[in-house]
Chain A
C-alpha cells in the first residue's frame, strides 16, 4: 500500500502568518485528500486535490484560506493562510490504497499546528 510522508510533523506559528504542509506519496495516485482534525474532534475533509486541475473544496473551506497545489501524481501541498488560533489543528493528507482486494485509504501521520 502507499506510504505517505508528511512534513512538518508539527509547528508553532504566529497569528497572521502562513504555513505550507507537504505530502509526498511513494507511488502515483489520482487523488489526494486533505483533512483537518480540530482538538478533540473527528476528521473533516477540507478538499480533494486532483493532478492538473483545481482542488475541490468542501463546504466551509475556501481556496483563499487553504490554497492547495498538486504539481504531479506523487506530491501535494496545503497552505494554511493568515492563521488564527482557531486554525490550531492536526492536518492530514490521505490517498487511496493500492487497488487489490480493498479500496481503503492510507493517511499520513499528520501535521500538528499550533497558532499563538
Chain B
C-alpha cells in the first residue's frame, strides 16, 4: 500500500472548517484513500473514503486532486468533539479484506 504524509498537528477554531491535508504521491490506480479518526481512548472511527471523485457524507467531505497524489479531509463546522487524531490511509479497495496500515496521523485540536 502507498505511504501517506500528514502534518503532525493542526489547530482549528470551533465552528470553522477544518482542512486536513494528506500526500500520497505513490498511490496506484486501484488504491482508495480512507480517512479514520481516533478520539482519545477510543477505537478508530471510519469517516469517509474515495477513489478519484470528491465525496461527501454526514461527517465530512473528501477532496482528491485530479492526479490523486494528495487529498484533503474537510470538517465543515468543527466542534470540540472533533478533537482527535486523523489518519489518512491508502489501500486497495474492491471489498476484499485488505488490511489497514496506519501512519502517525494528524492531531487536530479544536479550540473554543
Give CA–CA (A99, B68) in the complex, Å. Answer: 24
Contact A107–B102 (Cβ < 8 Å)? no
Contact A108–B102 (Cβ < 8 Å)? no
A-B pairs with beta carbons under 8 A, tally: 53
Give CA–CA (A99, B95) in the complex, Å. Answer: 7
Size category of the B interface is 20 to 34
Give CA–CA (A11, B93) in the complex, Å. Answer: 36
| CB-defined contacts of A96 to chain B, threshold 8 Å | 97
Contact B34–A42 (Cβ < 8 Å)? no
Contact B100–A42 (Cβ < 8 Å)? no
The answer, among A97, A103, A109, for a CB contact under 8 Å with B93, is A103
User: 1/0 per residue A23-49: CB within 8 Å of B?
Assistant: 000000011010100000011110010
Contact B102–A104 (Cβ < 8 Å)? no
Contact A33–B46 (Cβ < 8 Å)? no
Give CA–CA (A108, B44) in the complex, Å. Answer: 8
Most B CB atoms within 10 A — which of A35, A97, A102?
A102
Contact B46–A104 (Cβ < 8 Å)? yes
Give CA–CA (A108, B45) in the complex, Å. Answer: 10
In angstroms, how far is the closest chain A Cβ from the Cβ of B95?
Answer: 5
Give CA–CA (A103, B101) in the complex, Å. Answer: 15
> Which B residues contact A (CB, under 8 angstroms)?
34, 36, 41-46, 49, 87, 93-95, 97, 99-105
